[in-house]
């Protein structure tokens, strides 16, 4: 019973870690895309940016326009951190899966 609960907890923790990592990576990717759009606006002006946006059939460009925030370096570091967290969480799930397999093999 105790082993079963520990394995279930490890699987749940691993899944939660993966979910949080993917959400963090999504947010970091959105920030990077926004910064790229900000650089485009700074270099080429809003006219070119808005013309490109309309050609790409974007429904709204207000989310892509400059709004301030952290640095690109911070977003890239966050992306790497979330990637490492996702890999660690996947390893937790893999080890828990192996443990369940060993328990089943031992009992059977």
Each residue of 54-77: pLDDT tens digit? 656 545 545 555 554 568 888 888
Please list the ranges in the chain whose pLDDT falls under 70: 1-5, 48-70
Q: So what's the pLDDT on residue 2?
A: 53
Neighbours of 19 (CB within 10 A): 12
Query: Count of domains in the chain?
Result: 1
User: How buried is 29 (Cβ within 10 angstroms: 0-12 exposed, 13-18 middle, 19+ buried)?
Assistant: middle
> Does residue 102 lie in a domain region?
yes
Q: So what's the pLDDT on residue 20?
A: 93
> Does residue 12 lie in a domain region?
yes
> Does residue 57 lie in a domain region?
no
Rounded to 10 degrees, what is the CA torsion of 79, 83, 84, 90? 160
Q: So what's the pLDDT on residue 50?
A: 66
> Does residue 14 lie in a domain region?
yes
> Does residue 62 lie in a domain region?
no
**Could you tell me the residue range of the domain that residue 101 belongs to?**
2-38+71-107
Q: So what's the pLDDT on residue 57?
A: 53
Q: So what's the pLDDT on residue 6?
A: 73
């Amino acid at each position: 019973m105790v082993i079963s609960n520990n394995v279930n907890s490890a699987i749940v923790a691993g899944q939660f870690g993966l979910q949080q990592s993917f959400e963090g990576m999504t947010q970091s990717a959105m920030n990077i895309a926004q910064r790229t759009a900000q650089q485009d606006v700074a270099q080429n002006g809003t006219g070119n940016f808005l013309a490109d946006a309309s050609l790409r059939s974007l429904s709204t460009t207000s989310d892509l326009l400059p709004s301030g925030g952290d640095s690109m370096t911070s977003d890239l570091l966050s992306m790497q951190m979330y990637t490492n967290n996702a890999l660690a969480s996947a390893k937790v799930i893999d080890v828990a899966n192996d443990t369940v397999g060993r328990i089943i093999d031992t009992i059977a």
